[in-house]
Amino acid sequence: MMLVQRVVDALNEQLISEFAASAQYLAAAVYFEELVLPELAAFFFRQAEEERTHALKIVRFLLETGCKPLIPATPEVRNEFDSAEDAVQMALDQEMKVTDEINNIMRIAGEETDYTTQSFLQWFVKEQVEEVDTMSNLLQTIRHAAGNLLWVEDYVRRNPQHGGQTAAGAA
């Protein structure tokens, strides 16, 4: 095993957050689907898949370093939201929490002089900057739309960071 147990434990703990985020984003996608907001629903379906992919990156890293990943049960998922703003605020809060967790694993890896894990986690550090920025921008857009979620739909559709098309890529 290439990693110290303290790092393995932290990475296995992170699997809970990544799989939970995937499930939570799926619940948000369902919420937006029920509101007949297909762009927001599609955005959150993509986010759910992306979070699952993050978890699988950690699983593969643990396996490649001779460690055993522990596939966790996930905490209860929130399925009800008061508004689109509430759903996106939940997503932003979740991304801030994950950012703190990734930073904590980086700190642990640093304390253990585990350059392998630090190198692996650099991708996650950069990804969290993007995730927080994306959710912050989406939340601000919802607030600016002042209740007109069709404007938000258009924003998501046209904005590449939300999986939409650029003007050059539009049909």
Return the number of other C-beta atoms located less than 10 Å from residue 146's C-beta: 7
Gap between the Cα atoms of 28 and 81, Å rounded: 8
Q: What pTM value is reported for the model?
A: 0.90
Tell me the pLDDT tens digit for each residue of 114-151: 999 999 999 999 999 999 999 999 999 999 999 999 99
Which fold is adopted by the domain 5-162? Ferritin (1.20.1260)
Return the number of other C-beta atoms located less than 10 Å from residue 162's C-beta: 20
Closest CA relative to residue 135, chosen from 162, 169, 165: 162
Contact 125, 102 (CB under 8 A): yes
Tell me the pLDDT tens digit for each residue of 26-57: 999 999 999 999 999 999 999 999 999 999 99
Within 13 Å of residue 10, how many CA atoms lie on the same side as its CB?
23
162 DSSP 8-state letter: G
